[in-house]
Amino acid sequence: MKQDVIISQNLTEDLRQAIERCPHDQLFVLTDTTTLQFCWPVIRDYPYLQEAKMITIGATDENKTLQTLSSVWEALQQGGATRHSLLICLGGGMVTDLGGFAASTFKRGIQYINIPTTLLSMVDASVGGKTGINFGGLKNEIGVFNCASTVILCADFLRTLDSYNIRSGYAEMLKHGIISNTENWAELITFDLDNIDYTHLQQMVAKSVAIKERIVEEDPTEKGIRKALNLGHTAGHALESLALEENRTVLHGYAVAWGLVCELYLSAKRLGFPHDKLNQTLQFIKENYGVFTFNCKQYDKLYQFMTHDKKNQSGIINFTLMADIGDIRINQSADREEILEMLDFYRESMGC
């Protein structure tokens, strides 16, 4: 199912039309505690939202759990939702992932609309139909593919974000640039994240979403080329899981940025990815994302986390790697020795 992705210049009208395209008996709005405070006020006075029933969950990825999912199902049930109801997910990736999963499974599926409010959710989580929750200490372990009927991207919400959340989303844009073409990649690594030009950023967001949409349309359930979107994620998810386990939670995009350092090194070693482009990307990440520290005693743990990655087959760890900018190679396996060498490179080059 192809979803409508709207780069909004008029949020009131775009949301009204999106709701009209989904005939419904009841309307629900899902926020977390942060988006309730900062983003709901942007839309709460729209006339067509006055009868909407609110559902609010805890903020941050720690709440992306079965317990929270159950509380959303319960709120829908107690609010009298039927299979003809409509859910609007207003928030970052955690809200659109969990809300999309709740909508996809309640009464065997109700329609939902995503209004992503973070840069990360605009360019990644809200587009493409991946929904889910974390489970058993692993990221996005349970979920389904099911697209929102409409995704509305509105740059006004970006101004509510702090620098950390802008950078988190930007890492996914950087990934899109690497799998796209040299021009996109060069534009991204020269953008000034300390003095943001929001008009330019919105144009870059539109390009980034177009790259993801094109790939998702070609391969909606990740049987082939959609795996390109996993660049940086095999190592990144392992670092994110380690951070979660050690109670030093990091934003998803930061983990992806550090994962890109690891996987572009592997790309250079295995496929001849150009060293100058590796170094330029590494320098940009080092300057804008700092470093996640770990030592060689944690290599086993990181390796174990990678063995749980959903791209793996028959216990072999699979990566998406690059022979050059835009030259994607999916289903690239690496053995334990190469993975430990990759972790060595990360620690040496990042200075940890």
Q: Which are the catalytic amino acids? A: 108, 130, 172, 212, 222, 226, 230, 233, 237, 252
| DSSP per-residue letters across 161-225 | --HHHHHHHHHHHHHHHHHH-HHHHHHHHTS-SSS--HHHHHHHHHHHHHHHHHHHHH-TTSSSG
The helix/strand/coil state of 115 is strand
Name every residue whose Cβ is closer than 8 Å to that of residue 26 and which is 6 or more positions away in sequence: 53, 79, 80, 81, 82, 85, 86
Residue 144's H or E segment, with its range, is none
Q: Are 174 and 229 in contact (CB under 8 A)?
A: no
The helix/strand/coil state of 56 is strand
Q: Are 178 and 185 in contact (CB under 8 A)?
A: yes
Q: How far is CA 110 from CA 28, 146, 243, 346, in A?
A: 11, 11, 34, 44
Q: What are phi and psi of 283, to 5 degrees?
A: -65, -45
Instruction: Give the number of other CB atoms < 10 A from CB of residue 13.
Output: 11
**How do the residues of the chain divide into helix, strand and coil, expressed in percent and rounded to 5?**
55, 15, 30
Query: Angle, to 10 degrees, between the axis of helix 182-189 and the axis of helix 198-218?
Result: 140
DSSP state of 3: P
Question: Which of 114, 117, 100, 148 is CA-nearest to residue 35?
Answer: 117
Q: Are 262 and 289 in contact (CB under 8 A)?
A: no
